[in-house]
Amino acid sequence: MFKKALAKLGIGSASVDTRLERSTYRQGERVRGQIHIQGGKAAQEIDEIYLYLVVQYYHEGTEAECVVDEFRLTERFVVAPHETQVIPFEFTLPLDTPVSTGGSPVYLKTGLDIKRAIDPTDLDGIEVLPHPVVDQILRAVESLGFRLYHVQYDFEHFHSRNPFVQVYNLKPTGEYAKRLDKLSFIFDLENKRVNIVMKVDRKPVHLLGKMEEQLKLDERTTQFSIAQVETNHFLQLREKLEQLLQQQLE
């Protein structure tokens, strides 16, 4: 009886340990792993096991968390004293999972839901890389003479179920360095295509240009879509992106 009372307080209760197949994934990939549950000193009824995909970020100087997705893995079950149970799982990493950046880690939070007890939890950091389609588009842009230097959060954009979108910023390194300060992309991935917002930050070259820069008139934004199959043809993709870029510079 005393052991059951202690278990309700979280003393000598069940523990949870999530073990992933690997620690690095791309957006849209399958995530596989096992949840190891170690029974405590008394039998405990587990209402459910939940798994949250969480990103930690800063906004206006405040640390916050966003639950990108959540998964309920089991129904109610009982773990006996000192018993070890292993529960395999797998799920698809959502296409809008933020890629990992230095200041905004992504992790999985696993928890056991035990009524009237302190719920055991486990945190596992993962590295999230861009979807292969996004990777191919960025590679095509870089081949035009740009270098990806920063991925930041934008909290004022639209069409996102998260409170932010990620902006990929590239610096011109070749001929475009004479005409541009920066090139930025926002990607909205779908199953068969990717919707793109491209912002061109033109370099001021005369007095009128400097006035435009102060008024933010030197920035041009365009939206377009690319079918995922198009990214299989690198040269055509590169040509299409170059044409879209040139149109914004005319």
CATH number of residue 6's parent domain: 2.60.40.640
CA distance 6 to 117: 9
pLDDT at 117 over 60: no
Residue 162's pLDDT is 85
Half-sphere exposure of 2 (CA within 13 A, CB side): 0
Question: Do 29 and 124 share a domain, yes or no?
Answer: yes
Percent of the chain with pLDDT over 90: 52
Nearest to 190 by CA among 223, 165, 226: 226
- DSSP designation for 104: B
**Of the residues 129, 151, 179, which one is the last residue of a structural domain?**
129
Query: The tokens of 92 are what?
Result: 């698809």
Residue 228's pLDDT is 94
Percent of the chain with pLDDT over 70: 85
**Of the residues 113, 129, 145, which one is the last residue of a structural domain?**
129
Dihedral of CA 142/144/150/152: which sign?
A: negative
Query: The tokens of 145 are what?
Result: 């003479």
Question: Do 146 and 102 share a domain, yes or no?
Answer: no
Residue 59's pLDDT is 83
> Could you tell me which residue, 161 or 26, shows the higher pLDDT?
26
Question: Do 55 and 154 share a domain, yes or no?
Answer: no
Question: Do 8 and 108 share a domain, yes or no?
Answer: yes
The count of domains in the chain is 2
Question: Do 157 and 71 share a domain, yes or no?
Answer: no
Q: Secondary structure of the chain: what % helix, strand, coil (to 5)? A: 20, 50, 30
The pLDDT confidence band at residue 139, using thresholds 50, 70 and 90, is very high
**Of the residues 95, 129, 163, which one is the last residue of a structural domain?**
129
Mean pLDDT in residue range 153-181:
86
Residue 174's pLDDT is 83
Strands 84-92 and 62-72: unpaired
Question: Do 32 and 151 share a domain, yes or no?
Answer: no
Question: Do 137 and 122 share a domain, yes or no?
Answer: no
Average pLDDT of every residue of the chain: 84
Question: Do 68 and 187 share a domain, yes or no?
Answer: no
Residue 96's pLDDT is 93
Nearest to 59 by CA among 148, 162, 200: 162
Question: Do 138 and 216 share a domain, yes or no?
Answer: yes
> Could you tell me which residue, 62 or 5, shows the higher pLDDT?
62
Question: Do 59 and 137 share a domain, yes or no?
Answer: no
pLDDT digits (tens, 9 = 90+) for 54-96: 999 888 888 889 999 999 888 788 889 889 999 999 999 999 9
Mean pLDDT in residue range 101-123:
75
Question: Do 147 and 75 share a domain, yes or no?
Answer: no
pLDDT at 12 over 70: no
pLDDT digits (tens, 9 = 90+) for 204-245: 765 454 545 554 556 889 999 999 999 999 999 999 999 999
pLDDT at 3 over 60: no
| Residue 124: domain span | 2-129
Residue 207's pLDDT is 43
pLDDT at 2 over 50: no
Question: Do 140 and 241 share a domain, yes or no?
Answer: yes
Strand (E) or helix (H) holding 142: helix 132-143
Q: What is the CA radius of gyration of the chain?
A: 24
